[in-house]
Amino acid sequence: MASDMTKPILDALSASDAPIISNQAFPSIPSTNVKSALDRLGSRQMVEYETMDREVISLTEEGETIANNGSHEVKVFQAVVAAMDGLKISDLPGIVGKDNAKVGQGNAFKKGWIKKDKDLLRPNTESVVDDTRELLMTVKNTQTLGDQKAIADLKRRKLITLQKVVTFKISKGPKYAKEFVKEETDLTFDMLNSGSWKTVNLKPYNFKAKGAPTTAGALHPLNKVRQEFRNIFFEMGFEEMPTNRYVETGFWNFDALFVPQQHPARDLQDTFYIADPAKADPPREDPLNDPHRPKSAQPASKATTAKPLDYKDYWENVREVHQNGKYGSIGYRYPWSADECLRLVLRTHTTSVSAYVLHKLAADPRPARFFSIDRVFRNEAVDATHLAEFHQIEGVIADFGLTLGGLIGFMEVFFAKMGIHQLRFKPAYNPYTEPSMEIFGYHDGLGKWVEIGNSGMFRPEMLEPMGLPKDMRVYGWGLSLERPTMIKYGVSNIRELVGHKVDLNFIETNPAVRLEKD
């Protein structure tokens, strides 16, 4: 540790009330040492000081040599003059030294002191003035130079260096004392025990610095946003759906949702199909020991109204409504393929699970609210805004006599909970909802309307084959978890949010998420 300068400073000040100048009082002490002592004394008001910055010029080793012995070019000139009848270029390094020859010859040419005559150098003038040496002598004696251009030139030639010299003008402070009393850095157990805390002199705390970094674990930012959305759903009475199945059948992912088998969403370009295992079974009751069966799968009461679910019936109803039309629908009128239904896919949306849960509800149709937030898969080319995997937020409300205005009203409350207060709704198309509404929210930061989700009422062609009554209507809405997160936190590349390329520092320093405030 550098020498403690507090005592020398206090001693130097004790002589008189006049201020002292640090580089005169302590010429050999680095200014940083003086500064740290001054900070300690200053914070205790024992001294006051002013900082004075000054630029001084000093010679480099080469500059020192020139100041003492003359410049390279003068040496070359002198050698050429001394040779009387021209000097062979190849002889020059031998006479003036290699370094002098190289630089000096060039400079001497530039200044017009010497000329070339075949392989001989001849003087071009009678006498020369060594201006470089004179400048350097001035610097050596005064540590300054008036001519800024000359300074720049010498600096470029690496003959001088510029240095900032900090000096302090120090005077006694209001609490000046000759002795610096030793300070304790912290209150300790021993002080409490010995009672020395009553007299101990505690070092002042630096209120401008940060505290010691705390070790902390962290939750992933996207999961923090997810938790906020889950809380919104819980507050509004929603039950979480069992989305812990990535692999779905074509039936649940598409057919049950009245997505026709030629729909572009079913293209290889959009959907991941499964090679192994090869083929699904038709829909059937879950194993009774499946621990993830939804609560709502069980009828509300042991009421006799609950009817057992007939999966075969459901399958046939789905076929019929696609192929020939049913339930007041003319259907798509195409030959429906059971094989297409039994292809396995990675679910492209969690709506497949909503269909599964709504079908369970048909055993005892009653008002219900469900939600899920989980991963879905699309066979898309990956770019800054698209990943093959993302999270879908989905909400479902089933009730008798629901209206479209109710869906709009509900969305207004739902999105207000995440701080979006202005919504408008655009008619849209979605194979399984009718009406379908795109939800736009006004984003204050961006100053424009942005699409924030999709919503609608599930089609009768989806609900009635399940056995749900005709007057039961079901709202469904969905949005991605990533998009609002990216907008809210200014993340422009989705790969910085999801996947292994995320920066751990981002995870560790991301603030707590408060959707309604951020």
Partner 1 sequence: MPTITVDKAALFKELGREYTTEEFDELCFEFGIELDEDTTDSDRPIVDGKQEPPQLKIEVPANRYDLLCFEGISLMLNIFLGRKPLPNYRLVEPSSGKLETINVKEDVGTGHTVAERTMKIRPYVSGAILRNIKFDQIRYESFIALQDKLHQNLARQRTLVSIGTHDLDTIEGPFTYEALPPKNISFIPLNQTQKMNGEELMTFYEKDKHLGKYLHIIRDSPVYPVIYDSKRTVCSLPPIINGDHSKIRLDTKNVFIEITALDKTKVEIVNRILVAMFSQYTSEPFTIEPIKVVSEHNKETRIVPDISPRKTEAEVSFINQCCGLDLPAAEICKLLEKMAYHSKPSATNPGLLDIEIPMTRADVLHQSDIMEDAAVAYGFNNLPRAFPNISGTIGQPLPINKLSDIVRMEAAMAGWSEVLPLILCSHDENFSWLNRKDDGNTAVKLSNPKTLEFQVVRTSLLPGLLKTIRENKTHTVPMKVFEVSDVAFKDLSLERKSRNERHFAAAWYGKTSGFEIVHGLMDRIMAMMKSAFITGEEGLENNSVGDSQYWIEELNCKSDFRHYNLDNITDTLAAPTYFPGHAASIHVRIAGKEHAIGSFGILHPTVLEKFELRYPTSTLEINIEAFL
| Residue list 304-363, contact with partner 1 (CB under 8 A) | 325, 327-334, 344, 346
Binding mask 239-268 for partner 1 (x = CB under 8 A): xxxxxxxxxxx------------x-x---x
Q: Is 83 in the site for partner 1 (CB under 8 A)?
A: no
- Least separation in angstroms between CB 186 and partner 1: 25
Q: 378-413 burial, b if ≥16 CB within 10 A, otherwise e?
A: beeeeeeeebebbbbbbbbbbbeebeeeebeebbee
Tell me if the bond preceding 435 is cis, omega within 30° of 0: yes
- Least separation in angstroms between CB 484 and partner 1: 16
Determine contact, residues 47/9, Cβ cutoff 8 Å: yes
Which range in 28-36, 54-62, 173-181, 232-240 contacts partner 1 by CB under 8 A? 232-240
Question: C-alpha distances in angstroms, 226 versus 241, 386, 391, 393, 479?
Answer: 15, 19, 9, 9, 12
Residues 416-445 that bind partner 1 (CB under 8 A): 424-429, 431, 434-437
- Least separation in angstroms between CB 313 and partner 1: 16
Which range in 55-63, 69-77, 132-140, 286-294 contacts partner 1 by CB under 8 A? 286-294
Which range in 25-33, 36-44, 158-166, 382-390 contacts partner 1 by CB under 8 A? 382-390
- Least separation in angstroms between CB 66 and partner 1: 47
Which range in 68-76, 99-107, 204-212, 410-418 contacts partner 1 by CB under 8 A? 410-418
- Least separation in angstroms between CB 377 and partner 1: 7
- Least separation in angstroms between CB 331 and partner 1: 7
Torsion of CA 189, 192, 196, 201, to 10 degrees: 70
Question: C-alpha distances in angstroms, 127 versus 71, 102, 105, 118, 274?
Answer: 14, 21, 16, 23, 94
Q: How far is CA 369 from its chain centroid?
A: 36
Shortest CA distance to 77 belongs to which of 155, 131, 158?
131
- Least separation in angstroms between CB 135 and partner 1: 48
Nearer to partner 1, 8 or 406 (CB): 406
Q: How far apart are CA 220 and CA 226, in angstroms?
A: 10
Angle of helix 221-235 versus helix 482-489 axis, rounded to 10? 110
Beta bridge partners of 375: 391
Q: Is 279 in the site for partner 1 (CB under 8 A)?
A: yes
Q: Is 68 in the site for partner 1 (CB under 8 A)?
A: no
Q: What angle do CA 289, 291, 297 make, to 5 degrees?
A: 90
Q: Is 366 in the site for partner 1 (CB under 8 A)?
A: yes
Which range in 1-9, 33-41, 159-167, 278-286 contacts partner 1 by CB under 8 A? 278-286
- Least separation in angstroms between CB 262 and partner 1: 6
- Least separation in angstroms between CB 509 and partner 1: 11
Shortest CA distance to 515 belongs to which of 228, 218, 224?
228
Shortest CA distance to 139 belongs to which of 228, 42, 56?
56
The token duo for 479 is: 């949005």
Q: How far apart are CA 457 and CA 428, in angstroms?
A: 12
Residue 327 per-residue DSSP state: T
Residues 468-487 that bind partner 1 (CB under 8 A): 473, 475
Nearer to partner 1, 158 or 284 (CB): 284
- Least separation in angstroms between CB 490 and partner 1: 18
Nearer to partner 1, 155 or 443 (CB): 443
Shortest CA distance to 392 belongs to which of 457, 475, 453?
453
Nearer to partner 1, 136 or 346 (CB): 346
N- to C-terminal Cα separation, the chain: 47
The token duo for 59 is: 């010679």
Nearer to partner 1, 96 or 402 (CB): 402
- Least separation in angstroms between CB 206 and partner 1: 25
Which range in 28-36, 145-153, 178-186, 228-236 contacts partner 1 by CB under 8 A? 228-236
Which range in 1-9, 26-34, 91-99, 211-219 contacts partner 1 by CB under 8 A? 211-219
Which range in 44-52, 57-65, 119-127, 377-385 contacts partner 1 by CB under 8 A? 377-385
Instruction: Please enumerate, as own/partner, the contacts of 301-304 that have beta carbons within 8 Å and a separation of 24 or more.
Output: 301/364, 303/364
Q: Which of 314, 370, 415, 477 binds partner 1 (CB under 8 A)?
A: 370
Q: Which of 63, 104, 123, 283 binds partner 1 (CB under 8 A)?
A: 283
The token duo for 145 is: 């130079």
Q: Is 230 in the site for partner 1 (CB under 8 A)?
A: yes
- Tell me, by CB under 8 A, how many residues bind partner 1: 115
- Least separation in angstroms between CB 276 and partner 1: 4
Nearer to partner 1, 93 or 294 (CB): 294
Beta strands across the sheet bearing 160-172: 20-21, 160-172, 47-59
Q: How far apart are CA 118 and CA 116, in angstroms?
A: 6
Residues 488-507 that bind partner 1 (CB under 8 A): 498-505, 507
